Structure 1
Amino acid sequence: MAILLGLIILFIYSCSSSPAAPQAPPPPSLPVATIVTGTDTTYQEYPASIEGTVNVEVRPQVSGTLDKVFVDEGSFVSAGQPIFKINEQPYRAALNNAIASQHAAEGAAANAQLEIDKLTPLVQNKVVSDYQLKTAKATYDVAKANIEQAKANVSTAQINLGYTLIKAPVNGYIGRLLKKQGSLVGPTDPESLTQLSDIHDVHVYFSLSEKDFVNFKEQYPGLTLKDKLKQLPSVSLLLADNSVYTKQGKVDMIDGQFDKTTGAITLRASFANPQGLLRSGNTGKVRLSLQHKDALIVPESATVDMQDKVFVFTVGDSSKVKKQAITIVGKNGNNYLVKDGVKAGDQIVLSGIDHLQEGMVIHPEKATDKVVAVVKN
């Protein structure tokens, strides 16, 4: 009986007692920092193509056999220096023929003048009718016209003969020699004889998207694009191996319209090239500096990408975090430059954000440094 009573008491006690509620874990301790405003400069890089200030195709203006090539590929030539010679014999013969035709026309004119001189006194003395004199004068006018035509033919023949010696139109470097000695060449050839580039200075062409161009225009003072170009700082050129070209360049041209296909506009920067290290056809990147006033700097490590947007976690009242989208206008090193989404004085979580959720409470720990925008002088 005593055993039964004990079991009943134990059953009643077990039913009346409930398990103790688990204690909530403490909020995580995460580093936070305060955002302040400042001015910073970012650098954007744009693919670029390089051309000489003068980059011309050398083409024959008359047809014939290429007799001589006076230069080698890659050599420097001065303006007026002979570089090719086309067989001149057909054009020399054409010139001689034109000169002979001119002499014949001059002789015919002299005969017509003699006829006029003979008939003039006879008409005055009414020995012959003036009809014959008028006919002689008309013949003389035709002879003079034939002389002018013959002179024009001589001039054309001389020009064509001169075209057989092809000279460099500008100072520059010779490109590939696509035609060799003995080749038949002509003005209608699809390929030029060579290309000639003046590369003492080079033009570097790059393109900006419409959005980048709007930001570009807002950076610098001036009412017109011409005024703004004067305020632009120098730009750098990165070569194909990512080395920086030793000379600084200057943006000096903006295209008159956007490319309808790409939606971009072309800009040109000019660089000095005294040692000829850059050649037409080189590629590289133009590094363009953009100044951002009153920008907010946020470390890239304090952000999270989600659905094509970038978020940070701000710390509000009661140490609750809020996921906030930000608008990025540039990047400098490992930091984002932010335009909208946060403001000066806001606190953001610097690390450990992968496990944060909206409204979660944390224990803020002040970071060693504030998130500040470094002012560039």
Structure 2
Amino acid sequence: MQINIQATEQIYDAGKHGAERRKARTRDALQSDEVMTEANIGPTTAEVTSPAAAPPLPSNANALMVPAVVKVVPKSEPPEPKPKRRLWLWALAGVVAIMVGVLGYFQPWVAAVTEVTVETAALGPVSRVLAVNGRIAGERSVDVRPQVSGTLVSVPVAEGDAVQLGEVVAQIDPATQQAAVRQAMAGLDAAQVAEADAQAEHARNKALGSNVARVVLESSARAVQSSAQEVARTTALLDQAQIQLRNYTIHAPLSGNVLVLTAEPGQLVDPANELMTIADLEHLVVETDVDESYATQVKVGQPAALQLSGETAVLDGHVSFVSQKVDEATGGLEVKLTADAPLQAPIGLTVTANITVDERAAAITVPRAAIVRDANGTGVLLLDEGKAVRRDVMLIDWPAARLIVTDGLVAGDVVIGDATGIADGKAVKVKP
């Protein structure tokens, strides 16, 4: 078979030039795909197609391989989303925050001005008062107890009854003691008879004079002396028995009222049992305890203002009794207050009392909240040219809202009323 060489060369040249053009287009497509990939368009895939521009080879030509055209097409997957705008906003916010922090660090600190209340120190009359609570009690009150043991046979009084001094309020069965009295009386009678016989015998011996031996006379004299001693002994026994018998009858130790009654007929009692309490209700007092911290401040005669529970009226009174011993168990000092006018109130009623322990014609006082206590001692804060200025003071510490300043302040000083949380030198201004 004869081949047309010239035609074949033309075909080859045409195919060669077409292939070169297709290669150039492929490179351009690949570069474009890379650019698109860098622009986050997305990955691509390569699709191989036959060259459309290449003419078919003649059938009689040798099999000449023509390069295939490679076409790059985008992948069907959706492109990766672009960064959202909020990322840019977050970045901007971070920059702003850093700038604010830097400015805050280098900006000078401006201290806040605290508003305060103030008062001007002034001299005036001052009373130091101790507030206590007490209860109404009888000026005299006695717990009645038996002095002997036995069975109660009668209790002729009731709770609340008025009784007079010496009135019978209880009776213990006296039968046993009555027998003891009779026995003592018999012993005394026998002693008295023996004494009389001894005296008669001694008298006869003395009358015989020298006819009686001296020894006999001395013996009769000793018998008289011994019998007299026996009479004295038995007399004492009788007295003791009679006294003991009287103890079986219990009498009121004072005039007053029976406040508490625990005794009942048939009850077996002894000196440890409290039968009743009798109090003098004609003279009432207020019984209270003062803490030992103020024990040396309270004295008889100091004025006291009394207010009974449930009443609005305030009664004048005074300290009428101060114990000389502090109760070691409670740390309290017993104090009694007496109203200047007779009280009409039930026993046990609560009374609020203010005892005036100190009065001064002229003194400076400050609120308790104005006091500053620290390592430097005790002081107050004064308002001076817009600042709180500390000043040491001496005062009388007392359970009251205002305290007496004895040194450190003068009339006219402007004192900050509440020093809580305010440091020395802090900028302050008066609260409108």
- TM-score w.r.t. the length of structure 1 is 0.69
Aligned partners of 1:48 and 1:285 also within 8 Å: yes
Give yes or no for contact 1:123–1:133 (8 Å, CA) kept in 2. no
**Which of 271, 275, 283 is the matching residue for 1:193?**
275
SS at match of 2:316: coil
Residues 90, 43 of structure 1: alpha-carbon distance in 2 compared, 3 angstrom cutoff: same
Q: Which residue in the other structure is 1:236 paired with?
A: 305
Distance in 2, matches of 1:350 and 1:97, equals: 86
Shift in Å, 1:182? 0.8
Post-superposition shift, 1:135? 1.9
**Structure 1 residues without counterparts, runs of 5 or longer:** 1-18, 218-224, 368-377
* Counterpart code for 1:314: L
- 1:76 equivalent to 2:143? Answer no
CA distance in 2, matches of 1:92, 1:117: 38
User: Structure 1 residues 96, 307: CA separation in 2 closer, same or farther (over 3 Å shift)?
Assistant: same
Q: Aligned partners of 2:153, 2:162: CA distance in 1, in Å?
A: 21
Corresponding residue for residue 295 of structure 1: 363
- Picking from 239, 242, 256, the partner of 1:158 is 242
Check conservation: 1:59, 1:192, Cα contact below 8 A: yes
1:95-149 deviation line (CA, Å, top 9, x unaligned)? 222222222222222222332233333343x2x4232232222222222222212
Q: Which has the larger radius of gyration?
A: 2
Instruction: Check conservation: 2:146, 2:273, Cα contact below 8 A.
Output: no
Question: Which deviates further from its counterpart, 70-79 or 353-362?
Answer: 353-362
Change (3 A) 1:58 1:272: farther
Say which of 257, 267, 277 aligns to 2:345.
277
Q: Which residue of 1 aligns with 2:12?
A: none
- Identify the residue that residue 290 of structure 2 maps to in structure 1: 207
Distance 1:95-1:56 versus aligned 2 partners, 3 A rule? same
Name the aligned partner's letter for residue 425 of structure 2. Answer: G
- The equivalent of 2:215 in structure 1 is 131
State the distance in 2 between where 1:247 and 1:34 align.
34
Higher relative contact order (CA 8 A, sep 6+): 1
Q: Does 1:119 align with 2:208?
A: no
Aligned-residue offset at 1:60: 1.6
CA shift, 1:50, in A, is: 5.2
Q: What CA distance in whole angstroms lies between the structure 2 residues aligned with 1:87 and 1:29?
A: 82
Shift in Å, 1:32: 4.7
**Secondary structure of 1:80's aligned partner:** coil
The answer (yes or no) to whether the contact 2:136–2:345 under 8 Å persists in 1 is no
> Structure 2 matches for 1:233-272, cutoff 5 A?
234-239=303-308, 241=309, 243=311, 247-256=315-324, 265-271=333-339
User: Which 10-residue stretch deviates more, 284-293 or 107-116?
Assistant: 284-293
Q: What do residues 164-215 of structure 1 show as CA deviations (whole Å, max 9, x unaligned)?
A: 211111112223322310112233xx322222222433252432444x456x
**Structure 1 position 346 matched with structure 2 position 428:** no
Structure 2 residue 270 is the aligned partner of structure 1 residue 183: no
Contact 2:365 2:404 in 1 (8 A): yes
| TM-score normalised per structure 2 | 0.61
Distance in 2, matches of 1:56 and 1:129, equals 66
2-structure distance, mates of 1:98, 1:329: 69
2:387 counterpart of 1:320: yes
- 1:147 is aligned with what amino acid? V
Distance in 1 (alpha carbons) for counterparts of 2:334 and 2:343: 27
Distance 1:87 1:356, change over 3 A: closer
Q: How many angstroms does 1:78 deviate by?
A: 1.0
Let me know the Cα RMSD of the aligned residues. 4.0
1:90: how far off? 2.0
**What is the rounded CA distance, in whole Å, between the counterparts of 2:295 and 2:424 in structure 1?**
37
Asked if structure 2 preserves the Cα contact closer than 8 Å seen for 1:42 and 1:291, the reply is: yes
8 A contact 1:31–1:364 mirrored in 2:
yes
How far apart, CA to CA, are the structure 2 residues paired with 1:52 and 1:203? 8
Cα 1:108–1:362 shift into 2, 3 Å: closer
SS of the equivalent of 2:264 reads: coil
Q: Displacement, 1:295?
A: 2.9
